[in-house]
Chain A
Amino acid sequence: MDKTGAEILVEGLEKEGVDVMFGYPGGAILDICDCLCKSKIRFILTRHEQGAAHAADGFARSTGRVGVCMATSGPGATNLVTGIATAYMDSVPMVAITGQVPTSMIGNDAFQEADMVGITRPITKYNYLVKDVMDLPRIIKEAFFIASTGRPGPVLIDIPKDIQRAVYKNYSYPEKIDMRSYKPVYEGHPNQIEKAAKAIEKSKKPLLYCGGGAIISGAHEEILKLAEKCDIPVTMTLLGLGCFPGNHPLALNMLGMHGTQYANFATAETDLIIAVGARFDDRVTGKIDEFAPNAQGRVIHIDIDPSAISKNIQVSVPIVGDCKKVLSDLLKVVKPLKHPEWVKQIREWKEKFPLKYKNDDDLLRPQYIVEKIYEITKGDAIIVTEVGQNQMWAAHYYQYSKPRTFLSSGGLGTMGYGFPAAIGAKVAHPDKLVIDVAGDGSIQMNIQEMATAVINNIDVKIVILNNAFLGMVRQWQELFYQREYAFTDLVRYIDKDITTEDIKKDPSLFLPNFVKLAEAYDALGLRVTKKEEVTPALEKAFSSPKVAIVECIVEREENVFPMIPGGASVKQMIGGMA
């Protein structure tokens, strides 16, 4: 059958199982839009291309399926860049489709031309500029394969306008895929697994350290089994949250810069690290030479990406493979173990140094709000965060027990990620409560997506922890820059000393007025200034059929603790106790 490039693309998307995509039209992608609107695929029109990329990301992270976004050439495509980079850093399967100027005009500085293959080269797993319509079916097939296999990541397909219109005679979509240069390894080497089992059996203080890879591979059940079979405590990275029940006796929750004290003590004390889909990122290790001093030379690292192994620290038992597969093989060979002393020590640390904040007065603190979200939802919600203090509080004071229920931009740390990602997650899970825990700074970076959410009845709930500061940066300024709050104060009159109380009394001291803003978008807007108002407001918002913003005016200078300053070690941990 004869088909145009645009028709081939739409049919390819359907064949790859795409039922929803996010995007924005434009001149160089009109042919594809024209075909798409006649297809079964639900196209969600965002209000900015960045929103489309993050929504596709949220869709992908909450489901494990490939998220798809689309934009026109030039500025449309460059607006996707932050979203693509965010997905790349956190290994999110995504296919981004961009229009391009006609092949004859490429390189001529044509109207709305940008070299997208060049621009996205370092932030995509792979990218394509389609130069011949005959290549298009294979490229679509490959793009979805590459995005979703091995260590997942975003793939960009740049399609010039004339290719969209070109006709492929007697076209058929490829059934199979064969790439001699790309063959991800899923099975761990049996000898290495044997070695790992021996090392675990020899260890007195083993520690499982699980990252985003554990969630991507769906290894949560195997992690639970291994932890219980061999009596091993489990710490998680930010992106690993949800791969092990947060309220399990062996759970240490998050480690690293804003990790729990007990997780960081355990890391300092352990004699064997079993890393599962984690990459020893600098936010986790702090000063690399002082990281896990008693586990030097005793590190098992399971990862599907060989280049993640021995990149930052020396690994004694590298195992390249899919975390889930490797762990289930490991479970077959490792003996059941008990570490009563070690687990007792962990339990003592957990009792003695819990996460806590000052909660014995009437002041409204952000941690309290996150705790209430957990109480009301009983942990049965998808929590999406922005980046900064809101992100860390959402990680600390909500217990994640299931994978893919905590979505956050970890690697790139993209402010403005949360709200559009929440839209994507809600589209994938219409029956689930999806909550964006936001800060007053981040939420403004993609606030335009209010229209997208309301118009499409994607009733996400936004809880803004409003301290009228770019809180995390302010915290660093307080701790390391002599309280010089340069460019972080978001109140209306920065030359005046405006307190939390002032903002509570006079909403006009902070812009925008989020309640009015919600109303302007025909959403529900609620403002909370007191502790006792938190639960009723959250309940009202969560049970409403509408998109809702709950703005909470919180203590302006509340800090995220504990904290290990960048490049320091656990010895320099500050603010353990509130």
Chain B
Amino acid sequence: MQHIITALVENRFGVLANISSLFSARGFNIDSLAVGETHDPSISRMTIVVTGDDRIIQQVMKQLNKMIDTIRVSDLTEEAHVERELMLIKMGHTPKTRAEIVQLVEIFKGRIIDFNPRDLSVEIVGSSDKILAFMDIMRSFGIKEVARTGRVALPRG
């Protein structure tokens, strides 16, 4: 099962390397990992999406907690939480397809953020399902490049 784990860590040199090294050394699979500074510049928040059975997830949590730079770890999967992912997607367009693409972007509440005669880039924010759905639809228009942030999450309340 896929779990979404969030960790507050010291914003220090080498912390990201420590976490990725931990996952590779223990054979855990990361589906996505997003890192960024919080309102306190000495603290970063990591959002880690990882797949595994209960035993593996328990180990992931414990190993993350064990890291010296980890301030707090929580598994949000079963808790009320909000999560978002952002995708930038670039595709080709022609006078024939342009209107349809723009319409679809609107339906998905996306934004066109770059446009030139050959291709256009769209920003989509939402759940991973929504992002995957949009990407699937765009395949027929010819996707050129995709960049995704991976999920970020916060507990509710």
Confirm or deny: B47 has a beta carbon within 8 angstroms of a beta carbon on chain A: no
Instruction: Give A309 to B58 CA distance when docked, in angstroms.
Output: 10
Instruction: Give A311 to B26 CA distance when docked, in angstroms.
Output: 12
Known contacts A117-B14, A122-B25; decide if A305 and B58 are in contact (CB<8 Å): no
Between A126, A181, A311, the greatest number of chain B beta carbons within 10 A of the residue's beta carbon is seen for A181
Is there contact, CB below 8 Å, between A307 and B68?
no
Number of residue pairs A-B, CB distance < 8 angstroms: 39
**Set A129, A181, A307, A310: member contacting B69, Cβ < 8 A:** A181
Is there contact, CB below 8 Å, between B9 and A307?
no
Known contacts A306-B62, A307-B62, A307-B63; decide if A125 and B68 are in contact (CB<8 Å): yes
**Set B9, B58, B68: member contacting A310, Cβ < 8 A:** B58
Is there contact, CB below 8 Å, between B17 and A126?
no
Is there contact, CB below 8 Å, between A310 and B55?
yes
Contact with A along B52-71 (1 / 0, CB 8 A): 00010011001101101111
**Set B10, B25, B55, B59: member contacting A181, Cβ < 8 A:** B10
Please indicate the chain A residues that have their CB under 8 angstroms from the CB of B66 in the complex: 305-307
Instruction: Give A182 to B68 CA distance when docked, in angstroms.
Output: 5
Is there contact, CB below 8 Å, between A121 and B13?
no
Task: Report the minimal beta-carbon distance from A121 to chain B, rounded to whole angstroms.
Answer: 5
**Set B13, B18, B58, B71: member contacting A180, Cβ < 8 A:** B71
Task: Report the minimal beta-carbon distance from A269 to chain B, rounded to whole angstroms.
Answer: 27
Is there contact, CB below 8 Å, between B68 and A311?
no
Confirm or deny: B21 has a beta carbon within 8 angstroms of a beta carbon on chain A: yes
Contact with A along B16-33 (1 / 0, CB 8 A): 011001100100000000
- Closest residue of chain B to A180 (Cβ to Cβ) is B71
Q: Interface residues of A toward B: which range?
A: 20 to 34
Please indicate the chain A residues that have their CB under 8 angstroms from the CB of B58 in the complex: 310
Instruction: Give A121 to B21 CA distance when docked, in angstroms.
Output: 8
Is there contact, CB below 8 Å, between B21 and A122?
yes
**Set A117, A180, A311: member contacting B59, Cβ < 8 A:** A311
Known contacts A117-B14, A118-B17; decide if A126 and B55 are in contact (CB<8 Å): no
Confirm or deny: A225 has a beta carbon within 8 angstroms of a beta carbon on chain B: no
- Closest residue of chain A to B67 (Cβ to Cβ) is A181
Please indicate the chain B residues that have their CB under 8 angstroms from the CB of A125 in the complex: 68
**Set B13, B22, B62, B65: member contacting A129, Cβ < 8 A:** B13
Is there contact, CB below 8 Å, between B14 and A307?
no
Please indicate the chain A residues that have their CB under 8 angstroms from the CB of B18 in the complex: 121
Contact with A along B79-96 (1 / 0, CB 8 A): 000000000000000000
Task: Name 5 A/B residue pairs within 8 A (Cβ), A-sorted.
Answer: A117-B14, A121-B21, A129-B13, A182-B68, A307-B63
Instruction: Give A125 to B70 CA distance when docked, in angstroms.
Output: 13
- Closest residue of chain B to A307 (Cβ to Cβ) is B62
Please indicate the chain A residues that have their CB under 8 angstroms from the CB of B21 in the complex: 121-122
Task: Report the minimal beta-carbon distance from A480 to chain B, rounded to whole angstroms.
Answer: 27
| B residues 99-155 in Cβ contact with A at 8 Å | none
Please indicate the chain B residues that have their CB under 8 angstroms from the CB of A127 in the complex: 14
Instruction: Give A307 to B13 CA distance when docked, in angstroms.
Output: 24
Task: Report the minimal beta-carbon distance from A166 to chain B, rounded to whole angstroms.
Answer: 18
Task: Report the minimal beta-carbon distance from B17 to chain A, rounded to whole angstroms.
Answer: 7
Is there contact, CB below 8 Å, between A181 and B63?
no
Known contacts A181-B68, A182-B68; 15 additional CB pairs below 8 A are A121-B17, A122-B21, A126-B68, A127-B14, A129-B13, A129-B14, A131-B13, A179-B68, A181-B10, A306-B65, A306-B66, A307-B59, A310-B55, A310-B58, A311-B59
Please indicate the chain B residues that have their CB under 8 angstroms from the CB of A179 in the complex: 68
Please indicate the chain A residues that have their CB under 8 angstroms from the CB of B25 in the complex: 122
Please indicate the chain A residues that have their CB under 8 angstroms from the CB of B59 in the complex: 307, 311
Instruction: Give A117 to B22 CA distance when docked, in angstroms.
Output: 14
Please indicate the chain A residues that have their CB under 8 angstroms from the CB of B62 in the complex: 306-307, 309, 311
- Closest residue of chain A to B8 (Cβ to Cβ) is A181
Known contacts A307-B65, A307-B66; decide if A181 and B17 are in contact (CB<8 Å): no
Contact with B along A252-266 (1 / 0, CB 8 A): 000000000000000
Please indicate the chain B residues that have their CB under 8 angstroms from the CB of A122 in the complex: 21-22, 25
Task: Report the minimal beta-carbon distance from A238 to chain B, rounded to whole angstroms.
Answer: 24
Task: Report the minimal beta-carbon distance from B22 to chain A, rounded to whole angstroms.
Answer: 8
Instruction: Give A182 to B14 CA distance when docked, in angstroms.
Output: 16
Please indicate the chain A residues that have their CB under 8 angstroms from the CB of B70 in the complex: 181
Please indicate the chain A residues that have their CB under 8 angstroms from the CB of B17 in the complex: 118, 121
Confirm or deny: A146 has a beta carbon within 8 angstroms of a beta carbon on chain B: yes
- Closest residue of chain A to B55 (Cβ to Cβ) is A310
Please indicate the chain A residues that have their CB under 8 angstroms from the CB of B22 in the complex: 122
Is there contact, CB below 8 Å, between B9 and A181?
yes
Task: Report the minimal beta-carbon distance from A95 to chain B, rounded to whole angstroms.
Answer: 14
Instruction: Give A305 to B68 CA distance when docked, in angstroms.
Output: 13
Closest 7 CB pairs of A and B: A307-B62, A126-B68, A181-B71, A122-B25, A121-B21, A182-B68, A307-B66
Instruction: Give A180 to B22 CA distance when docked, in angstroms.
Output: 21
Instruction: Give A126 to B22 CA distance when docked, in angstroms.
Output: 12
- Closest residue of chain A to B17 (Cβ to Cβ) is A121
Is there contact, CB below 8 Å, between B14 and A146?
no
Instruction: Give A117 to B15 CA distance when docked, in angstroms.
Output: 11
Task: Report the minimal beta-carbon distance from B40 to chain A, rounded to whole angstroms.
Answer: 11
Contact with B along A134-165 (1 / 0, CB 8 A): 00000000000010000000000000000000
Is there contact, CB below 8 Å, between A146 and B13?
no
| A residues 307-339 in Cβ contact with B at 8 Å | 307, 309-311
Contact with B along A236-248 (1 / 0, CB 8 A): 0000000000000
- Closest residue of chain A to B65 (Cβ to Cβ) is A306
Instruction: Give A309 to B71 CA distance when docked, in angstroms.
Output: 20
- Closest residue of chain A to B63 (Cβ to Cβ) is A307
